[in-house]
A and B are shown apart, each in its own frame.
Chain A
Amino acid sequence: MTPHVILRVVSKFLIPLIAIFAFYVQFHGDFGPGGGFQAGVILAASVILYALIFGLDAAKKALPPSWVRIGMMLGVIVYGGTGVATWLVGGNFLEYGAFTPEHPDHGIHLGILAVEVGVLLAVASVMVAIFYAFGSRQPDLTDEDW
């Protein structure tokens, strides 16, 4: 596909930046606005942008649909698993303070980081999954159709 050279070059440059920004949003959530939800959406946007510019097949090669399914599952498992872990150390469900009984605030910090990773995984993979599902339903559009 020779057209869209500018788009392809610019997006090749942008996509890694978008992904890095997603992780910035993810881990900066403690201090400023942001967190797993927004980061997941931004991360998904980088994949979707890749699919839009380079085609769905290329995107599926880079990020296979089976991984996306597993990512969806992992998101819920990481979040819930954090809760199960708090059970194992003797607290209530999602009582992160139980991780470090002498300094509950450290445990809470740790727990929040863990569950945010779960949210990131779940949101990013579901967004990509929905896009894959819709995108795979139809033949590629020519420019004239727009």
Chain B
Amino acid sequence: MDLLSSYPSWLITHGAALLIILPLLVGAITSVLPRERLAWIVTLIVTLICVVTSLGVLLDVYFNDAQLYKMGGWDPPHGISYIIDGLNTPLIFLICAMALLCTIYGLPSVAAEVEPKKRAPFYAAFLIGVAGLLGMVVTGDAFNVFVFLEVSSISTYVLVAMGASRDRRALKAAYNYLILGSIGATFFVIGLGFLYMETGTLNMADIGNILRDLDGGSRVSLVAFGFIVVGLGLKLAMFPLHMWLPGAYAHAPSFVTVFLASTATKAALYLLLRFIFMVFDPSFEYVITVVTYVLTALGCIAMLFGSLQAIFQTDARRTLAFSSIAQVGYMLLGVGMATGLGLAAGYLHLLNHAVIKAALFFALGAFWYRYGITRIDDFAGLGKMMPWTMGAFTLGGLSLIGVPFTAGFTSKLNLVEAALQRGWAWAAIVIVVASILAIIYIGRMLMAAYFQSPPEIDGEVVAKNEAPLMMLIPMWLLALLSIAIGVNADLVVEAAQGAADVLIGGGV
């Protein structure tokens, strides 16, 4: 409470809007800045302000109550309003914090991977992408979601394509992402059109109330639900719709991969949660059917399929990308249970996975930065060549597997508990099997790094060359955080519980 009272009251009232407007406006200015270093400093300051603001908003929602921010001062059904509640504030803070860490990491990383002239616009696109994601998460207006979905998507396509100066395949990956992402956005907007046809309004809470009055509405809202789930499913890489993800993660610049992996799919998953539970309602027969059978089944398939695919990859980032698809499966399983415990566990895994995956991708970026390594075969001896980076990678890897006293363990344990409470013992088995598969693909990398000797070039063993401090700091911060969550998860569990309460409580 003390910390909260030190915030100026204006920042708390308008904080949610500032979080989006500031990066958007500064992003526009950054695009014409003449010097890359200046652009970086500006980005750093903006993301820092965003972190501070989002913390204030988070505390305010925690101690006081959910907020409604009316854009343009118009009341909800007519104007666009923001809803800031226990469901989205943790995610807002997560996105801001990741943006800040990525920016710190970006100073060396972007300098190595992006053409000098393009670095200022690159940071501009990044800021706009951050703002787009935040805008999607914070808004309470269904069409506004679409607008900011486009803002974040377009800048992300470009950011992924910027990997082309490292690997030409980035262009193809970005193109795939562009096409599939556009199809997803189109499906989503078709769904919104149907919803508007049924209810005549675009405000999420309003749609929710009208649909509840209609007891789920007619076939129009059923079809709307289908289109929205498929559209968001594409964005969050739900199992059969995940085709864009491995390529995009593998070929984007390291900086972008980290940010994408830790926030983009999470924001889409959050939207799915909000649409399923607060715009529609699990009490409608078609919603609960889709959630219980389709989402759960797809989640379980994704867990097994993603982990299996991850084992057979040669490229380290592709391995982790398939692992991300599997982790989305865990979260969907939690959603599929549609119980308070399950939702809390899914949300917890969402937060934890963002921390873990970001640490892992940070480390992979550092491997490339020093040695140009992308393939697992080249990991040989990395434990000796980059001990600190590899250390962070190991912590993250263990956490991904779910070794006790790591963040991954906490969320998987919660998921298993929720599954058992729901009476789904088979789901618990799937979780265990997927975790065993994770041991294999993470183990492969760790074995190569620690049990093989460093390669020799011209008869000399490759010298130790640790990553720069700017890369190590964010990496270790997240690695230690994942351990800290594993030791004492109270704060994060409480946040996840709060989110689940908002979802189950229904209504905004």
Contacts and interface: CB of A to CB of B under 8 A. Distances in A.
A76 B28 contact: yes
A97 B28 CA distance: 26
B186 interface: no
Interface stretch (B69-77, B172-180, B192-200, B421-429): B69-77
A13 B506 CA distance: 63
Interface string A82-97: 0110010001111111
B280 to A, nearest CB: 29
Query: Which range holds the interface residue count of chain A?
Result: 10 to 19
Contact of A93 (B17, B28, B29, B31): B17
Interface stretch (A56-64, A67-75, A137-145): A67-75
B70 A76 contact: no
A81 interface: yes
Contacts of A72: 28, 31
Q: Is the interface of B mostly helix, strand, loop or mixed?
A: helix
A125 B32 CA distance: 14
A123 interface: no
Interface string A32-72: 00000000000000000000000000000000000001101
Contacts of B24: 76, 80
B25 A76 contact: yes
B444 interface: no
B31 A83 contact: no
A92 B69 contact: yes
B21 A77 contact: no
B31 A92 contact: no
* Residue of A70, A72, A92 with most chain B CB atoms under a 10 A cut-off: A92
A69 to B, nearest CB: 6
B258 to A, nearest CB: 26
Given A87-B14, A92-B14, A92-B17, A81 B71 contact: no
A83 B18 CA distance: 11
A128 interface: no
A117 interface: no
A127 interface: no
A98 interface: yes
A91 B25 CA distance: 18
A10 to B, nearest CB: 36
Contacts of A92: 14, 17, 69-73
Contact of A80 (B14, B25, B73): B25
A94 B25 CA distance: 14
A73 B29 contact: yes
B31 A80 contact: no
Interface string B56-73: 000000000000011111
Nearest to A94: B72
A77 B72 CA distance: 17
A95 B28 CA distance: 22
A93 to B, nearest CB: 5
A81 B28 CA distance: 12
Contacts of A76: 24-25, 28
B332 to A, nearest CB: 35
Contact of A83 (B21, B29, B69): B21
A96 B14 contact: no
Contact of B71 (A69, A80, A94): A94
Contacts of B69: 92
Nearest to B31: A73
Contacts of B72: 92-96
A83 B72 CA distance: 8
Contact of B28 (A77, A84, A96, A98): A77
A80 B32 contact: no
Contacts of B70: 92
A81 B21 CA distance: 10
Between B32, B69, B72, the greatest number of chain A beta carbons within 10 A of the residue's beta carbon is seen for B72
B132 to A, nearest CB: 13
B79 to A, nearest CB: 9
B75 to A, nearest CB: 11
A84 B29 contact: no
A73 B28 contact: yes
Nearest to B30: A73
A97 B75 CA distance: 14
A47 B88 CA distance: 45
Nearest to B16: A93
A98 B69 CA distance: 16
Contacts of B32: 69-70, 73
Nearest to A95: B73
Contacts of A94: 71-72
Contacts of B28: 72-73, 76-77, 80
A20 B24 CA distance: 31
A93 B20 CA distance: 11
A97 B31 CA distance: 31
Nearest to B24: A80
B25 A93 contact: no
Contacts of A95: 72-73
A76 B24 CA distance: 8
Given A76-B25, A84-B21, A69 B31 contact: yes
A63 to B, nearest CB: 16
List 8 A-B pairs, minimum CB-CB distance, nearest first.
Answer: A95-B73, A76-B28, A94-B72, A80-B25, A93-B17, A92-B73, A73-B28, A95-B72
26 contacts: A69-B31, A69-B32, A70-B32, A73-B29, A73-B31, A73-B32, A76-B24, A76-B25, A77-B25, A77-B28, A80-B24, A80-B25, A80-B28, A81-B25, A87-B14, A92-B17, A92-B71, A92-B72, A92-B73, A93-B14, A93-B17, A93-B71, A93-B72, A94-B72, A95-B72, A98-B73
Given A73-B32, A77-B29, 5 more contacts: A83-B21, A92-B14, A93-B14, A94-B72, A97-B73
